[in-house]
A = this chain, B = another copy of it.
Amino acid sequence: MWSENKVRIKDIAEELGVSTATVSNVLHGKTKKISEQTVKKVEKKLEERGYIPNMAATLLARNNSRIIGVVVNNHPKYEGHIFEDSFIASAINHLSDEIEDSGYFMMLKKAKKITEIIEFASMWNMDGIVVIGFCEDEYQDLRDRIRISMVIYGGFVYEQNRYGNITIDDFDGGRQAGLYLKKNGHRKVLCVADNEVCMDRRRYEGVCEGLGEKADFLKIPMQENERHIFYEKNFEKFLKYTAIFAVSDFYALELMHFLQKKQVNIPEDISIIGFDGSVDAKKSKPRLTTVKQDNKLRAQTAISLLIRMINDSSVAENLCIPVELEIGESVKNHIDI
């Protein structure tokens, strides 16, 4: 359709009467054996002709690709809208920045099965991958079958040393929330979470630690329609507590709206703490007090670890990102009554 052809190393070389090796070496800064004059000449021509490398050829000749794959579990619970989830969107946003700043390219994919990930990484000769949102035995499986550097951007903390793992300090986040509630005089605290998710469990254990006693626990269902029934069913129960700790802002806000509709005042009647530090938490009325996780730092840590692993496969680590309590208006001081 457009006739002008792409400029190749060969073209540059021919136009200058040098070999392709020389041009290639200049491109990669291997100029020890090339006169300054020639280097200048080649660089000028490259610039002039707007040379852009053909990645396919580069990729084939070397054996690495400068591609980092980001694979997200296409979990049915998101009904195909996973990239619109605020945590995932934020992760993708910051991972994208870090990958690019490090001189790599990002390929993004939703996957349902481990096999898809392996095929994806393998066919593109990826240097490394970041995986998000799979469950523990899927990661086990993946670890045994994949042959490239891999960082798990997710909820598990387990012993291993072949793959990187970035978690946030769920326990400490819970603990900070617990301490804050205790400081504000709350003794009857309910934690809503899913105890089958180990991330949720760690947050629950943290809140107990912070409170200095066991908080009550209520299992919240993952499915949206079931959650509505759950709220209705437990309405009376909620009223018995002075504070509720929800393991995500999403749950916290949903619960808050439910209670507000039922004429329960937040925080006058019940205090609520969430977890995530999402944008929605900032916008809510009252502004939600929440345990804030630093998504940017997390992405930075993940990609810098991954790149270290790409360059030296012995460095796999488990890293944990600290969290911080962000105080809003959804917790009331019970001492000042």
Contacts of A125 in B (CB 8 A): 54-56
Nearest B residue to A254, CB-CB: B283
Q: Is A109 an interface residue (CB 8 A)?
A: yes
Contacts of A279 in B (CB 8 A): 84
Please give the count of copies of this chain that the complex contains: 2
Partner of A147, one of B1, B65, B96: B1
A60–B117 Cα distance when bound, in Å, is: 23
Contacts of A97 in B (CB 8 A): 80, 110
Extra pairs beyond A54-B125, A82-B93 (16, CB < 8 Å): A1-B147, A52-B122, A53-B123, A56-B60, A56-B124, A80-B93, A81-B90, A84-B86, A84-B93, A84-B279, A92-B108, A100-B109, A106-B107, A106-B108, A108-B108, A257-B285
A-B contact pairs, 21 of them (CB 8 A): A1-B313, A6-B122, A53-B123, A54-B123, A55-B123, A56-B60, A56-B65, A57-B60, A81-B93, A84-B89, A84-B90, A89-B89, A92-B92, A92-B108, A96-B109, A96-B110, A100-B109, A106-B107, A107-B108, A108-B108, A257-B283
